[in-house]
Copies of this chain bind each other. A is one copy, B any other.
């Protein structure tokens, strides 16, 4: 199983195959991060609350049970005040 660690271990994820395609489950510790996509990503919040700023958009808040879709080949920002658990689907 692939284990990924980013931002000095403050964001970590585990690869999981699903019937909806490849995904990761992960945890984001408190902080502000910039991510880049190489495909469309469906980001589902599993625990906690996150703020996200997609290209051309304003900051929006997403709580447990909500999701947002990130286009391919963009950068986006997230900010977490507490730990956040997520499930991210990669739509290649």
Contacts and interface: CB of A to CB of B under 8 A. Distances in A.
By secondary structure, the A interface counts as strand
A85 B87 contact: yes
A57 interface: no
A39 interface: no
A72 interface: no
Interface residues of A, number: 27
Nearest to A17: B83
Contacts of A82: 17, 19
Contact of A83 (B12, B16, B26, B27): B16
Interface of A: 1, 3, 5, 9-10, 12-20, 23, 25-27, 29, 46-48, 82-85, 87
